[in-house]
């Protein structure tokens, strides 16, 4: 504890001293923050890893950004600058919650928590676990089944995490799969799948950016056609998915994940002794002793209600009634959908269905069902706080120009011939530092597409598709594994895992997939190798890494 406090005070003092570099206030519009723009996200990430105090780390990151901004722009005295920094620090979370998208995600998260609480109280999750256990009887089959379910729920990354995690957790717990591994599987089948899905809440945003990028250089394209052509070049996303299935099927792990899996297999402890899971499961602890009839339908019906009405809500909110009921019409509707509103509609309806089922079967009174819902929602309060602070860090990074600075630094350090590799590295770094994939895409696509097109004479060659794919998949790297990414946070929460344990165990796998994409993917493609050769080499490389570097987590191969 003393070590953590010392680290916090040292880092806070460092930031305070750093702000003195801006002792004289100036015009905010003319200030180039340079390296100082990296301090807030860097501070939050480093402290989160060192101390495991995620909320405090994020708060210090927000405060450091406010200090830097105020000291750079305000002409007040030193003490007043500190007061202004304190005020600004509080303003960022308020602004984050004032955003309609963020507010919608908070409501959606809490409502899902309430629904899970009711389902758990009436024995639904335990019934699903028992039913799946009859088919998935080993840790291997449990992991593969979880990954398959993650691919099936492809239409939205938030919905994916909040459906797959709570549904599969009882099964993975029963078969001694660590919560770290569950959260890795959930996270690896969320953003990497949604970004490549033909119908998803991402596609409208991606198509808009693609169209704007090509219009800026005077090239008329069909954005949807270009989107499909870029999919084979989304190598990080493809290799991340391949890796999650191989890890489960081969039962081989390495790094911190191996230690977590070994602990779970040998001791049955799905969480480390010092873990602080983001979702409390205390409301489930007495269920094994209850005489509640276990019916799979008590979980399946509310979950299917959520999935079906999420689809309907996305289609409706995107103007589905005004579009023809065709493939193109459905695609356009999903692309224009108000995802947060649609997911709220579906989750509220699913909660109502769960409550009605519990009451109608005499499992709970209406009062008890409402209490179960509230208890489930309360278990996610910590998650909503962390999400809000993570969004605040993202706002600060935007105000200070963190992404623009990183683009400038990295783009000047690599040779121009390796355009796909260059933009992939930049996109991965920016998305990890800022915790946002959409923001990274918005910054990188207008820069990367003209750069690649200039080398091809505005022809749509493999180099252009590879560059486009590198931006879109590199941008998901941070969304997939940054500790300040909302999807990463929600994956920890949905799996009831310790957030930093999730990040520590997943990061080596994400870096492995990213390195594979860079070395056998974007470098050879940039040199003219066909993309299918790179994909085969990448899959082979991942298999070889797991086979020869990974260690077996099969119980019969483990020793205490």
More confident residue, 541 or 40: 541
Confidence check: pLDDT of 30 > 60: no
33-89 pLDDT, tens digit per residue, is 777 888 888 888 788 777 777 788 888 888 888 888 887 777 777 778 778 888 888
The confidence score (pLDDT) of residue 17 equals 56
Query: What is the band of 546 on the pLDDT scale with cuts at 50, 70, 90?
Result: very high
**Same-domain status, 62 and 150:** no
Which residues does 265 contact at the CB level (< 8 Å), separation at least 6? 139, 176, 553, 555, 558
* Percent share of the chain, pLDDT over 70: 85
Residue 39 falls inside a structural domain: yes
**Same-domain status, 86 and 163:** no
**Same-domain status, 231 and 159:** yes
Confidence check: pLDDT of 412 > 70: no
The confidence score (pLDDT) of residue 310 equals 80
The confidence score (pLDDT) of residue 392 equals 85
Which of 69, 98, 127 terminates a domain? The answer is 98
Residue 532 falls inside a structural domain: yes
Residue 277 phi/psi, 5-degree rounding, is: -60, 140
**Same-domain status, 410 and 475:** yes
78-112 pLDDT, tens digit per residue, is 778 778 888 888 888 888 888 887 788 788 778 87
* Residue recorded with tokens 């549904």: 167
Confidence check: pLDDT of 16 > 90: no
Which of 50, 73, 98 terminates a domain? The answer is 98
Query: What is the band of 279 on the pLDDT scale with cuts at 50, 70, 90?
Result: low
**Same-domain status, 219 and 143:** yes
Query: What is the band of 543 on the pLDDT scale with cuts at 50, 70, 90?
Result: very high
Write the burial class of residue 4 (CB in 10 Å: 0-12 exposed, 13-18 middle, 19+ buried): middle
**Same-domain status, 175 and 247:** yes
**Same-domain status, 235 and 91:** no
Separation CA 292–CA 124 (nearest Å): 10
Which of 98, 127, 154 terminates a domain? The answer is 98
Query: What is the band of 260 on the pLDDT scale with cuts at 50, 70, 90?
Result: very high
DSSP sequence for 519-553: IIIIHHHHTT--HHHHHHHHHHHHHHHHHHTSEE-
Number of domains in the chain: 2
376-408 pLDDT, tens digit per residue, is 888 777 778 877 887 888 788 878 887 677 767
**Same-domain status, 414 and 534:** yes
Whether the Cβ atoms of residue 247 and residue 253 lie closer than 8 Å to each other: yes
The confidence score (pLDDT) of residue 332 equals 72
Residue 395 falls inside a structural domain: no
**Same-domain status, 420 and 538:** yes
- Alpha-carbon distances, residue 493 vs 285, 377, 505, 515, 517 (angstroms): 18, 12, 15, 28, 29
User: For helices 437-456 and 203-215, what crossing angle results, to 10°?
Assistant: 40
Domain of residue 510 covers: 136-272+401-560
Residue 287 falls inside a structural domain: no
**Same-domain status, 174 and 36:** no
The confidence score (pLDDT) of residue 2 equals 55
């Amino acid at each position: 504890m003393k070590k953590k406090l010392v680290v916090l005070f040292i880092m806070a003092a460092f930031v305070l001293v750093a702000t003195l570099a801006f002792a004289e206030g100036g015009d905010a519009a003319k200030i180039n923050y340079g390296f100082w723009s990296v301090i807030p996200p860097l501070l939050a990430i480093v402290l989160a890893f060192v101390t495991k105090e995620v909320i405090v780390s994020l708060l210090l990151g927000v405060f450091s950004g406010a200090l830097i901004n105020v000291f750079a722009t305000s002409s007040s005295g030193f003490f007043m600058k500190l007061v202004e920094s304190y005020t600004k620090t509080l303003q960022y979370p308020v602004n984050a919650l004032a955003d309609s998208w963020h507010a919608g995600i908070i409501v959606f998260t809490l409502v899902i928590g309430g629904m899970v609480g009711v389902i758990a109280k009436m024995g639904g999750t335990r019934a699903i676990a028992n039913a799946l256990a009859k088919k998935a009887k080993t840790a291997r089959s449990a992991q593969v089944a979880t990954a398959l379910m993650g691919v099936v729920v492809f239409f939205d990354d938030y919905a994916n995490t909040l459906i797959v995690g709570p549904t599969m957790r009882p099964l993975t717990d029963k078969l001694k799969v660590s919560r770290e591994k569950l959260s890795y599987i959930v996270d690896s089948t969320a953003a990497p799948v949604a970004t490549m899905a033909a119908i998803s809440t991402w596609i409208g945003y991606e198509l808009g950016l693609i169209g704007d990028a090509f219009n800026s250089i005077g090239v008329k394209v069909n954005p949807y056609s270009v989107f499909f052509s870029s999919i084979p070049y989304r190598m990080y996303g493809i290799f991340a998915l391949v890796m999650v299935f191989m890890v489960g099927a081969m039962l081989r792990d390495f790094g911190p994940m191996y230690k977590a899996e070994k602990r779970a297999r040998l001791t049955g402890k799905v969480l480390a002794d010092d873990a602080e899971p983001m979702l409390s499961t205390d409301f489930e602890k007495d269920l094994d002793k209850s005489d509640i009839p276990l019916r799979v339908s008590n979980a399946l019906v509310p979950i299917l209600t959520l999935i079906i009405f999420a689809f309907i809500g996305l289609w409706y909110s995107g103007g589905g009634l005004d579009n023809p009921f065709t493939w193109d019409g459905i695609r356009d509707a999903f692309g224009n959908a108000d995802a947060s509103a649609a997911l709220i509609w579906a989750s509220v309806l699913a909660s109502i269905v769960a409550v009605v089922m519990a009451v109608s079967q005499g499992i709970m009174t209406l009062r008890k069902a409402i209490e179960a819902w509230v208890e489930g929602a309360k278990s996610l309060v910590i998650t909503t706080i962390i999400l809000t602070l993570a969004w605040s860090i993202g706002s600060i990074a935007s105000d200070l120009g963190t992404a623009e600075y990183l683009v400038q630094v990295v783009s000047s350090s690599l040779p121009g011939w390796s355009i796909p590799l260059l933009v992939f590295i930049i996109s991965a770094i920016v998305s990890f530092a800022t915790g946002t994939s959409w923001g990274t895409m918005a910054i990188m696509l207008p820069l990367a597409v003209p750069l690649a097109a200039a080398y091809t004479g505005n022809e749509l060659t493999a180099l252009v598709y590879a560059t486009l794919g590198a931006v879109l998949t590199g941008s998901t790297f941070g969304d997939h594994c940054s500790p300040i990414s909302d999807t990463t946070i929600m994956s920890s929460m949905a799996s009831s895992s310790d957030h930093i344990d999730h990040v520590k165990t997943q990061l080596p796998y994400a870096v492995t997939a990213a390195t594979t994409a860079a070395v056998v993917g974007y470098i050879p493609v940039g040199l003219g190798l066909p993309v299918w050769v790179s994909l085969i080499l990448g899959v082979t490389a991942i298999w070889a890494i797991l086979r020869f570097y990974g260690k077996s987590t099969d119980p019969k191969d483990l020793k205490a």
